[in-house]
Amino acid sequence: MARRRRYVVPEAARGMQAFKANVMKQEGYNVNPERPDDVKYEVAKELGIPLRQGDNGDLSTESAGHIGGKIGGSMVRELVRMAQDRLSKQ
């Protein structure tokens, strides 16, 4: 059963999806800005992980972590870079 995490500020969801699309595009992935979550299938394919739409109950937590880590790690690196840039300008 898929869990859907919710943002504390619901209005932030659209901005975070746009941020994800921009970051993954910078990483070289083909991202549809209307469906940035679909980039996980491209990441999984690159990593050799058999992710498919629908039920992935046979997917190990380690494999799922590799996919999410690649995406989330890229987003965190970009957030850190943005913070460093902002701090250096103060």
Domain ranges of the chain: 12-88
Q: Residue 20's Cα: distance from chain center in Å?
A: 6
Distance CA 69, CA 53 (A): 19
Q: Residue 45's Cα: distance from chain center in Å?
A: 15
Helices (H), the chain: 12-26, 39-47, 61-88
- Residue 7's nearest CA partner among 15, 78, 66 is 15
pLDDT of residue 49: 93
Distance CA 51, CA 61 (A): 12
Angle between helices 39-47 and 12-26 (to 10 degrees): 40
pLDDT band for 2, please (50, 70, 90 cuts). low
Using one digit for the tens of pLDDT, what is the confidence trace for 30-81?
Answer: 888 888 888 999 999 999 999 988 888 888 999 999 999 999 999 999 999 9
Quote the pTM value: 0.77
Using one digit for the tens of pLDDT, what is the confidence trace for 5-39?
Answer: 788 898 888 898 899 999 999 999 988 888 888 89
